[in-house]
Structures are given as C-alpha cells and as structure tokens.
Amino acid sequence: MNATIDLLHDQGLARTTTPEIARMAGVSRGALTHHFAGREAIISASVADLLGKAARDLHRFAEDFMARGGSSDEIVDYAWRMMDDRLFYVTMEYLPEARHNPAFRADLIPTVKEFHAGLDAVWTALATRAGTDPDHTRIVMNATMCLVRGMISQTVLRPNDPAYYESMLGFWKQQVRQHFPMKPAAAPSGRRKTAVA
C-alpha cells in the first residue's frame, strides 16, 4: 500500500504501473496480481488505506481535543498539515480518474465517507468545546477544508513560498476564530487539593 501511495505522490497516476508498484513494494508482479485484480484495485485499496489512516488520526485528534481543550486555530493548522503531508497531493492524482471511471469512484466512496466522518468528529468536538451550533460549525470548517485544498493545489505552480501560504492561513484563522468564542477548558477530573491557611 505504501509503495503505491509513494508512486502516486512522486510520479503521478499515469506513471504508476503495476510492475513499478511491485518493484517498489519488493514483491513479484505475480504476487501482487494474486492479491489484486489489477492496477485499479491496487490503487483503490492503497487510497482506502491512506484515507483510513487519516480518518483514524482525525478521530484521535477529536478525542484529544475534547479531553484537553483547544482552539479553532489548532484545527486549521491540523487540517493544513494533514492535507499538505501528501494526502491532498495524492488525492489530486486519483480524482480525475474517479470523475471519469464509475467503478473506481464507487470503490472509493465508502472510504471517502469514512474520512468525512473523521472530519465531522473534529467539527463536533469544536462545536461542543465552543458551545456553537454543530451545523454552523460544519459549514465553517468544511469551508476551511475547501480553502486548504485550494491552497495545496496552488503549491503545484507556486512552490517554495511558505510566507504566502502562512499569511493566508493566518487570515483564515482570524475569520474562523470569530465563529468560535471558546469556553474555558474543563478542569481535570479527580480530587482537587485545597490549600490550608
């Protein structure tokens, strides 16, 4: 799975061949095709694995966010790091194929729904933490994801300009912050010691 994702990221979908996947994975082409019907099945399973890991990480982040508290800035930063760490670059490789290939698209939809459930867990944690309407929170944070995807798409033709992207993220955090005035973080559970005078 990792070899396929590495190839999608480093070479693109068109250059990711079954023999190249087998070579990168250190297995024979026959062993690879024994487990998968073909290139499309390998790519679909690899993308499912990538998105599944990202969804699990999102759920862990949401649980941690709820337990310790956090800010909308932290969520925007997390979304940027997650998507910029190959996830959306790989997505840009398989999306055109999914658009034109109904069977490939159908294979990916359940995995994408799992990923979106992970995003929703983070949005719900933010709504709970901020005491805001969950539907409004989803709209603001899904707009954040759209912005992040667009920014990452732009890095293809505007690389090596971190100040440009940091300034946009800073601006966007200001916009998002206005929607989520934070309640104080909950006190840790357990008995509190009282001071004796």
Structure tokens at 73: 């800035």
Domains of the chain are 39-177 (1.10.357)
Question: What would you report as the CA-atom Rg of the chain, rounded to the nearest whole angstrom?
Answer: 20
Question: What's the pTM?
Answer: 0.85
Q: Is 41 exposed, middle or buried (0-12, 13-18, 19+ CB in 10 A)?
A: middle
Cα(3)–Cα(5) distance, rounded to whole angstroms? 5
Q: What does the pLDDT look like over 125-160, one tens digit per residue?
A: 999 988 999 999 999 999 999 999 999 999 999 999
Q: What does the pLDDT look like over 20-41, one tens digit per residue?
A: 999 999 999 888 888 999 999 9
Q: Coil, helix or strand for 26?
A: coil
CA 78 to chain centre: 9
CA 121 to chain centre: 12
Task: Please name which of 188, 113, 54 lies closest in space to residue 62, comparing C-alpha atoms.
Answer: 54
